[in-house]
Amino acid sequence: MSIETAPHRIDIDLLSDIKLFGAADISACFSCGNCTAICPMSTNDGAFPRRMIRYGQVGMKDALLSSKELWTCYHCGLCSESCPQQADPGGYMAAARRYAIASYDRTRLSRTLYTRPVFASVFTVALAFLFATIMFSGHGPQSKSSLALFTFIPDQIIHWTGIVVMILATLASVSGIVMMVGGIAGSEGVHLSTLFRGRAAIGKSLRAMWVGLGVESLGQRRYRQDCAGDQEVEPWYRRRWLIHASTMWGFLGLFAATLLDYALALLGIKKTGTLVPIWYPVRLLGTVSGLLMVFGLSMLILNRIRQANQGAKASQQSDWMLLILLWIIGISGFLLELGIYLPDAPGWGYWVFLFHVSVSMELILLTPFMKFAHVIYRPVALFFLALAANTSEVSSK
């Protein structure tokens, strides 16, 4: 296998740096091709995932960070199980994605959280405590007749804190996306100014967006079909793609329910925190989505405890941190729903609410800096992958 002949700046510390993010000793790889032969994501060029490995071995940092293929791996573990050198290529790919997330982050917070686990744990707890302090600073009375959550923590405090958190998270995300898109576009020879110039270019770009965001990111076609592996022998509720989909769709549903509830409040249709029946559309959406997310997260946690697959065996602290934060949000949300519908307002409901909101704010703020950043960067990579596929199809006709 050959590497592109275009000149690249060599970083002799790249491989040792990636190891800090959880990679095995990929230097043991001698490019035998077993991983490429067994990988369901490998294409006809026979370069995946060997090309990513080679980039790390020879120090081609820019090429690695500007590779769209880096994000197509779902860490099924087949490559690691078949590697004769036990180089763990799947683990390397996961570590390389962590390295990429940290490299796109100009603040270096992501790098610190990934490579200093003790600091990451302390920082996470401290950040949640900071948000709790901000929320509690303007707290009101605790009604005993009904669980008046937004009397205890005024919705204006939640609103403006959320606005600040969203702005900071958006700025960090956009900064990372700009770096990633610039690198991929340059390596792919794509001129961003021409993506939407002319009807044909617009059509091709929109098709790539639909495939990258809709079919692949939301529909998970490749995960369901190409990465199924031996999942079909598992009970349906233990299949990895379904667990992943439940977690993703559950979170998106909860996010949509929150936005809809806020929009209804802005329109004067329903005040935030108003008690409504369980079958009320927005509440029903939130309840069903919460069930999906908690199911998916519980299965992911159980798989990691049981080390049910190769990916679960290589769990890092960052993986656990994301799962725990999301699980706390899901469980505390259901406790709040229970408290709201109890005949008497439980005192613990107010403190669960404070905890729930604080962790939710923390998760949003940390999204660009932790594993959750996959929801930002993977769709971008899949867009370019679909765009390249469209170009190849047009060229072959």
DSSP secondary structure letters along 162-213? HHHHHHHHHHHHHHHHHHHHHHHHHHHT--GGGTTSSHHHHHHHHHHHIIII
Q: Can you say whether residue 389 is alpha, beta or left, with left for phi > 0 and alpha for psi between -120 and 50 degrees?
A: alpha
Q: Is the pTM of this model over 0.85?
A: yes
Q: pLDDT tier at 231 (50, 70, 90 boundaries)? A: low
pLDDT for 2 equals 40
Lowest mean pLDDT among 202-216, 272-286, 374-388: 272-286
Residue 264 reports pLDDT greater than 80: yes
- Give dist(CA 314, CA 28) in Å, integer: 18
pLDDT for 123 equals 96
Average pLDDT across the chain, whole number: 86
Only one residue has tokens 């469980």, namely: 331
Q: What is the pLDDT of residues 46-99, one digit of tens each?
A: 578 888 889 998 999 999 999 998 998 888 888 888 888 888 888 899 999 999
